[in-house]
Homo-oligomer: A and B are copies of this chain.
Amino acid sequence: MQVEKMADISNSIRKAKKASIELAALDTVTKDNALKAMAKALDARRSEILEANRKDVDAAEKDLKSGEMTKALFDRLKVTDDKISGMITGIEDVVRLKDPVGETISTLELDDDLTLYQIRCPIGVLGIIFESRPDVVPQIMSLCLKSGNAVAFKGGREASASNKALFDILQEAAASAGVPKDAFCIMEGREDVGVILGMDEYIDLLIPRGSNSFVKYIQDNTRIPVLGHAAGICHVYVDSKADLKKALNVALDSKIQYPAVCNAVETLLVNSKIAKDFLPKMMDAFEKNSVEVRADDASYKIIGGNVKKASEADWDEEYNDLIISIKTVDSVDEAIDFINEHGSGHTDAIISEDKEAIAKFVSMVDSAGVFINASTRFADGFRYGKGAEVGISTNKIHARGPVGMEGLMIYKYILVGDGHEVRTYAGKNAKKFTHKNLDKQFRV
């Protein structure tokens, strides 16, 4: 890459860091007015967006024919009038979300006139690296604006005209309402990724949105914290004391309701005590719904026939397709061990009516979502009532599972004193702290 181009990109991100400070201090009214202006501008400039998208779609059609692009990616790339309306509704939804900036989380009196406040504040600068879907731009930009975070976007080249058109319209509208223009920037080239991944001094959190290998690449090549998940290998465990009708329905829904996504089930674990009863019925349902089954030896002995045998590799594979692997286990403990070894910490379900087995499963399965008698497909920000979703995290710190705007926030401590010195509270005649919780909001 040309040296000047690299300098350009890093310069934009430095400016975003500076602007993030101003953005963090913006009042709610200004931010909401900016969001309304953004929604209005998208509506007024639909033809520009559709025209820009036409360019991307025309180029992509060739890739689709040659097989270089999948139909799924192509569909995501395409912007329609309906999709623009969806973007507008999305922004209007964010207007209605409560402004989290400045919320008092806790208040502690340390002594007379010495009070410690824990206050919610934005994280700073987010790096959003995404493939295809231009609707990521309005969705993330509105969430970040409301939560006071600056954003460096890096979109895929296949959507560059669409992304740029959307970005320019939104940035201009936000700026017209008083939002610092520098708080948002967008990059397009594949080589820009390297610059972004190296800017750990300026970018506080990366959120990649794309394929597993794409996310894995980012996780492996940066010192910036990454919020997201690479794989989504979910399990349904049918316990010896399961209601078999529920088990059948939940397992089927977890697999077929939308198989291409991370919260679909990939491996069905069946307790050996009920395997003979359950598996033939389950097999029947899978066959009727064109689900390919890969069975371990014990299951194979029961369902045999048209079924493939599972190999060791099947236990670690995310099919994202109408394929499921089946394994029998002798106990809930074996199921738990198997899930903790082969799962991705995303979402795993138990089907059981036995309180003891459920309690064990819930406390020992180390996943972001542990479900009891419910489909793994419920693991989603909208269904969790979060409104907009930033992504699903399998991290063990900060935010786990479906993440909404709360995942874009951190806190700072504000200590309000009146000339207080630490020496008063140290040494032989040290004054004691009161450490009394107060129900009091921070105000200057």
Q: How large is the interface on A (under 10, 10 to 19, 20 to 34, 35 or more residues)?
A: 35 or more
A370 interface residue per 8 A CB criterion = yes
Copies held by the complex: 2
- Whether B422 lies near A375 (C-beta < 8 A) is yes
The one of B102, B340, B364, B371 in contact with A415, judged by C-beta atoms closer than 8 angstroms, is: B371
- Whether A359 lies near B225 (C-beta < 8 A) is no
- Whether A378 lies near B123 (C-beta < 8 A) is no
> A397 and B400 in contact (CB under 8 A), knowing A372-B415, A425-B383?
no
Q: Which residues of B contact A418 (CB under 8 A)?
A: 246, 373-374
A176 interface residue per 8 A CB criterion = no
- How far is B246's CA from A123's CA once the two chains are assembled, in angstroms? 32
- Whether A396 lies near B384 (C-beta < 8 A) is no
Q: Which residues of B contact A422 (CB under 8 A)?
A: 253, 257-258, 375, 377-378, 383
- Whether B414 lies near A371 (C-beta < 8 A) is yes
A39 interface residue per 8 A CB criterion = no
- Whether B108 lies near A374 (C-beta < 8 A) is no
Q: Which residues of B contact A410 (CB under 8 A)?
A: 396-398, 400
Q: Which residues of B contact A217 (CB under 8 A)?
A: none
Q: Which residues of B contact A219 (CB under 8 A)?
A: 223
- How far is B418's CA from A375's CA once the two chains are assembled, in angstroms? 10
A413 interface residue per 8 A CB criterion = yes
- Whether B124 lies near A366 (C-beta < 8 A) is yes
Interface string of A12-33 (1 = CB under 8 A from B): 0000000001101100000000
Q: Which residues of B contact A421 (CB under 8 A)?
A: 249-250, 252-253, 257, 375, 377
Q: Which residues of B contact A368 (CB under 8 A)?
A: 412-413
- Whether A362 lies near B398 (C-beta < 8 A) is no
Smallest Cβ-Cβ distance to A204: which chain B residue: B396
The 3 closest A-B pairs by CB, nearest first: A374-B417, A246-B419, A253-B421
**Contact residues of A with B, CB < 8 Å?**
21-22, 24-25, 102, 108, 110, 114, 116, 123-124, 204-205, 219-220, 223, 225, 227, 243, 245-246, 249-250, 252-253, 257-258, 336, 340, 355, 358-360, 362-364, 366-375, 377-379, 383-385, 395-398, 400-402, 410-423, 425-426, 433, 435, 444
